Amino acid sequence: MQLDAVESSKCSKSSKRSPQAAVLFDMDGVLVLSNPAHLEAWQLFAREKLGVEITAEMFFRSISGRKNEEALAELFPGRFSKEELARVGAEKEAFYRERFAPHLPPVPGVLELIHELSSPPLSELVALALVTSGPPENARFIIGRFQLEEAFAAVVTGADVARAKPDPTIYLMAAERLGVPPARCIVLEDACAGVQAAKRAGMRCLAVATSEPPAKLTAAGADLVRPDFRGVSWALLQSLL
Protein backbone atom coordinates (compact mmCIF):
# COMPACT_ATOMS: atom_id res chain seq x y z
CA MET A 1 0.00 0.00 0.00
CA GLN A 2 1.43 3.31 -1.09
CA LEU A 3 0.90 6.54 0.80
CA ASP A 4 -0.33 8.87 -1.89
CA ALA A 5 0.65 12.46 -1.14
CA VAL A 6 -1.98 13.81 -3.51
CA GLU A 7 -4.74 11.81 -1.84
CA SER A 8 -3.45 12.66 1.63
CA SER A 9 -3.55 16.37 0.83
CA LYS A 10 -7.34 16.09 0.79
CA CYS A 11 -7.31 15.28 4.50
CA SER A 12 -8.01 18.07 6.88
CA LYS A 13 -7.40 18.41 10.59
CA SER A 14 -11.12 18.29 11.13
CA SER A 15 -11.23 14.77 9.60
CA LYS A 16 -7.86 13.34 10.53
CA ARG A 17 -7.30 9.87 9.14
CA SER A 18 -5.88 6.96 11.05
CA PRO A 19 -2.16 6.54 10.35
CA GLN A 20 -1.29 4.10 7.59
CA ALA A 21 2.32 3.72 8.71
CA ALA A 22 4.62 4.67 11.56
CA VAL A 23 8.25 5.68 11.97
CA LEU A 24 9.76 4.80 15.34
CA PHE A 25 12.84 6.80 16.33
CA ASP A 26 15.40 5.52 18.80
CA MET A 27 16.98 8.43 20.70
CA ASP A 28 20.67 7.99 21.56
CA GLY A 29 22.65 7.75 18.33
CA VAL A 30 19.54 8.39 16.20
CA LEU A 31 18.09 11.67 17.42
CA VAL A 32 21.26 12.93 19.11
CA LEU A 33 24.95 12.03 18.86
CA SER A 34 25.09 11.07 22.51
CA ASN A 35 27.03 7.82 22.86
CA PRO A 36 30.43 9.53 23.31
CA ALA A 37 28.82 11.71 25.99
CA HIS A 38 27.24 8.70 27.69
CA LEU A 39 30.61 6.93 27.71
CA GLU A 40 32.35 9.93 29.27
CA ALA A 41 29.49 10.41 31.75
CA TRP A 42 29.67 6.78 32.83
CA GLN A 43 33.45 6.97 33.22
CA LEU A 44 33.36 10.18 35.29
CA PHE A 45 30.38 9.07 37.38
CA ALA A 46 31.87 5.65 38.11
CA ARG A 47 35.21 7.18 39.05
CA GLU A 48 33.77 9.96 41.23
CA LYS A 49 30.78 8.18 42.79
CA LEU A 50 31.59 4.45 42.69
CA GLY A 51 35.38 4.42 42.86
CA VAL A 52 35.78 2.19 39.79
CA GLU A 53 36.99 2.57 36.23
CA ILE A 54 34.79 1.83 33.23
CA THR A 55 36.54 1.24 29.93
CA ALA A 56 35.14 1.84 26.46
CA GLU A 57 35.04 -1.93 25.95
CA MET A 58 32.93 -2.34 29.11
CA PHE A 59 30.61 0.43 27.98
CA PHE A 60 29.87 -0.99 24.53
CA ARG A 61 29.64 -4.57 25.82
CA SER A 62 27.49 -4.09 28.90
CA ILE A 63 25.97 -0.58 28.99
CA SER A 64 25.19 0.95 25.61
CA GLY A 65 21.53 0.56 24.65
CA ARG A 66 20.55 -1.14 27.91
CA LYS A 67 18.64 -0.07 31.00
CA ASN A 68 20.99 1.23 33.69
CA GLU A 69 19.76 -1.28 36.28
CA GLU A 70 20.63 -4.18 33.97
CA ALA A 71 24.05 -2.77 33.17
CA LEU A 72 24.94 -2.06 36.80
CA ALA A 73 23.81 -5.51 37.91
CA GLU A 74 26.04 -7.11 35.28
CA LEU A 75 29.06 -4.89 35.93
CA PHE A 76 28.85 -5.08 39.73
CA PRO A 77 27.17 -8.39 40.60
CA GLY A 78 25.93 -8.44 44.18
CA ARG A 79 27.08 -4.91 45.02
CA PHE A 80 23.69 -3.18 44.85
CA SER A 81 20.20 -4.08 46.02
CA LYS A 82 17.29 -3.65 43.60
CA GLU A 83 16.47 -0.29 45.15
CA GLU A 84 20.11 0.81 44.98
CA LEU A 85 20.34 -0.18 41.32
CA ALA A 86 17.43 2.15 40.55
CA ARG A 87 18.88 4.97 42.66
CA VAL A 88 22.40 4.75 41.23
CA GLY A 89 21.06 4.51 37.68
CA ALA A 90 18.94 7.61 38.20
CA GLU A 91 21.89 9.49 39.69
CA LYS A 92 24.03 8.68 36.68
CA GLU A 93 21.37 9.99 34.28
CA ALA A 94 20.97 13.21 36.29
CA PHE A 95 24.77 13.59 36.12
CA TYR A 96 24.63 13.08 32.33
CA ARG A 97 21.79 15.57 31.81
CA GLU A 98 23.50 18.26 33.85
CA ARG A 99 27.00 17.99 32.38
CA PHE A 100 26.54 16.70 28.84
CA ALA A 101 22.99 16.68 27.44
CA PRO A 102 22.67 20.46 26.88
CA HIS A 103 25.56 20.30 24.39
CA LEU A 104 24.58 17.26 22.33
CA PRO A 105 24.26 17.83 18.56
CA PRO A 106 21.46 16.22 16.56
CA VAL A 107 22.37 13.44 14.15
CA PRO A 108 22.83 15.15 10.76
CA GLY A 109 19.58 15.23 8.80
CA VAL A 110 17.33 13.88 11.55
CA LEU A 111 15.55 17.13 12.38
CA GLU A 112 14.84 17.74 8.70
CA LEU A 113 13.39 14.22 8.41
CA ILE A 114 11.17 14.73 11.48
CA HIS A 115 9.96 18.03 10.06
CA GLU A 116 9.04 16.37 6.76
CA LEU A 117 7.18 13.51 8.43
CA SER A 118 5.35 15.66 10.98
CA SER A 119 4.17 18.27 8.48
CA PRO A 120 1.10 18.05 6.20
CA PRO A 121 0.31 16.10 4.15
CA LEU A 122 2.41 13.27 5.63
CA SER A 123 1.41 14.04 9.20
CA GLU A 124 -2.09 12.82 8.32
CA LEU A 125 -0.85 9.38 7.32
CA VAL A 126 2.43 8.73 9.14
CA ALA A 127 2.62 8.57 12.94
CA LEU A 128 5.89 9.15 14.79
CA ALA A 129 7.09 7.76 18.11
CA LEU A 130 10.23 8.18 20.19
CA VAL A 131 11.35 4.82 21.58
CA THR A 132 14.33 4.66 23.94
CA SER A 133 15.73 2.32 26.57
CA GLY A 134 16.70 5.44 28.52
CA PRO A 135 14.63 6.99 31.30
CA PRO A 136 11.66 9.31 30.64
CA GLU A 137 13.59 12.26 32.07
CA ASN A 138 16.15 11.97 29.26
CA ALA A 139 13.43 11.72 26.63
CA ARG A 140 11.65 14.81 27.98
CA PHE A 141 14.93 16.73 28.06
CA ILE A 142 15.83 15.95 24.45
CA ILE A 143 12.30 16.51 23.14
CA GLY A 144 12.17 19.88 24.88
CA ARG A 145 15.62 20.90 23.75
CA PHE A 146 14.74 20.44 20.08
CA GLN A 147 11.12 21.57 20.49
CA LEU A 148 9.67 18.29 19.26
CA GLU A 149 6.69 18.19 21.62
CA GLU A 150 4.21 18.17 18.72
CA ALA A 151 6.14 15.75 16.51
CA PHE A 152 5.77 12.49 18.44
CA ALA A 153 2.35 10.93 18.97
CA ALA A 154 3.85 8.48 21.47
CA VAL A 155 6.94 8.24 23.66
CA VAL A 156 8.01 4.87 25.07
CA THR A 157 10.98 4.63 27.46
CA GLY A 158 12.82 2.06 29.51
CA ALA A 159 10.46 2.80 32.39
CA ASP A 160 7.59 1.29 30.38
CA VAL A 161 9.09 -2.18 29.90
CA ALA A 162 10.69 -4.87 32.02
CA ARG A 163 13.27 -5.86 29.41
CA ALA A 164 15.43 -3.66 27.23
CA LYS A 165 16.36 -4.24 23.60
CA PRO A 166 16.95 -6.69 21.89
CA ASP A 167 13.64 -7.71 23.47
CA PRO A 168 10.99 -6.45 21.02
CA THR A 169 8.42 -5.37 23.63
CA ILE A 170 9.35 -1.69 23.58
CA TYR A 171 8.76 -1.41 19.82
CA LEU A 172 5.58 -3.49 19.93
CA MET A 173 4.27 -1.20 22.67
CA ALA A 174 4.98 1.87 20.52
CA ALA A 175 3.12 0.34 17.57
CA GLU A 176 0.14 -0.48 19.77
CA ARG A 177 -0.01 3.05 21.16
CA LEU A 178 0.05 4.48 17.65
CA GLY A 179 -2.55 2.03 16.37
CA VAL A 180 -0.30 0.83 13.53
CA PRO A 181 0.44 -2.86 12.75
CA PRO A 182 4.10 -3.86 13.24
CA ALA A 183 4.39 -4.71 9.54
CA ARG A 184 3.67 -1.04 8.75
CA CYS A 185 6.33 0.29 11.13
CA ILE A 186 9.81 1.47 10.19
CA VAL A 187 12.36 1.62 13.01
CA LEU A 188 15.31 4.00 12.91
CA GLU A 189 18.19 2.57 14.94
CA ASP A 190 21.93 2.85 15.52
CA ALA A 191 22.70 -0.22 17.66
CA CYS A 192 22.69 -3.94 16.87
CA ALA A 193 20.48 -4.69 19.88
CA GLY A 194 17.95 -2.15 18.61
CA VAL A 195 18.02 -3.57 15.09
CA GLN A 196 17.42 -7.05 16.52
CA ALA A 197 14.51 -5.74 18.61
CA ALA A 198 12.94 -4.16 15.53
CA LYS A 199 13.24 -7.32 13.44
CA ARG A 200 11.90 -9.51 16.26
CA ALA A 201 8.91 -7.17 16.40
CA GLY A 202 8.23 -7.84 12.71
CA MET A 203 9.22 -4.33 11.63
CA ARG A 204 11.49 -2.89 8.95
CA CYS A 205 14.65 -1.14 10.07
CA LEU A 206 16.90 1.58 8.72
CA ALA A 207 20.11 1.84 10.74
CA VAL A 208 22.55 4.73 10.88
CA ALA A 209 26.22 3.96 11.52
CA THR A 210 26.70 6.57 14.23
CA SER A 211 27.59 4.04 16.93
CA GLU A 212 28.45 0.72 15.27
CA PRO A 213 30.08 -0.26 11.94
CA PRO A 214 27.80 -0.75 8.94
CA ALA A 215 28.79 -4.42 8.61
CA LYS A 216 27.64 -5.18 12.16
CA LEU A 217 24.32 -3.41 11.63
CA THR A 218 23.73 -5.34 8.41
CA ALA A 219 24.60 -8.62 10.14
CA ALA A 220 22.12 -7.75 12.90
CA GLY A 221 19.37 -7.60 10.26
CA ALA A 222 19.06 -3.94 9.22
CA ASP A 223 17.18 -3.58 5.94
CA LEU A 224 19.20 -0.49 5.01
CA VAL A 225 22.26 1.19 6.54
CA ARG A 226 23.18 4.83 6.08
CA PRO A 227 25.96 6.95 7.64
CA ASP A 228 23.36 9.42 8.97
CA PHE A 229 20.01 10.90 7.87
CA ARG A 230 21.25 13.30 5.22
CA GLY A 231 19.34 12.40 2.07
CA VAL A 232 16.87 10.19 3.96
CA SER A 233 13.27 11.11 3.13
CA TRP A 234 9.83 9.54 3.36
CA ALA A 235 10.24 8.31 -0.22
CA LEU A 236 13.26 6.23 0.88
CA LEU A 237 11.62 4.98 4.06
CA GLN A 238 8.42 4.05 2.25
CA SER A 239 10.40 1.88 -0.15
CA LEU A 240 11.20 -0.43 2.77
CA LEU A 241 7.55 -1.30 3.36
CA dihedral 194, 141, 154, 174 (to 10 degrees): 20
Would residue 167 show up in a list of annotated catalytic residues for this protein? no
Mean pLDDT is lowest, of 28-37, 57-66, 118-127, 218-227, for 57-66
Q: What percent of the chain has pLDDT over 70?
A: 93
Residue of 4, 28, 223, 228 marked active site = 28
> Which DSSP letter does residue 211 get?
S
pTM of the model: 0.84
* C-beta of residue 156 within 8 angstroms of C-beta of residue 129: yes
Q: With the CA atoms of 20, 24, 30 and 35 taken in that order, what torsion angle do they form, in degrees rounded to the nearest 10?
A: 180
> Tell me: the pLDDT tens digits for 178-199?
999 999 999 999 999 999 999 9
Question: pLDDT tens-digit profile of 7-52?
Answer: 333 333 334 568 999 999 999 999 999 988 989 999 999 999 999 9
Catalytic residue, candidates 4, 26, 190, 223? 26
Burial 188-223 (b: 16+ CB within 10 A, else e): bbbbbbbbbbbbbbebbbbbbbbbbeeebbbebebb
Give the number of residues written for the chain.
241
Is 160 in the active site? no
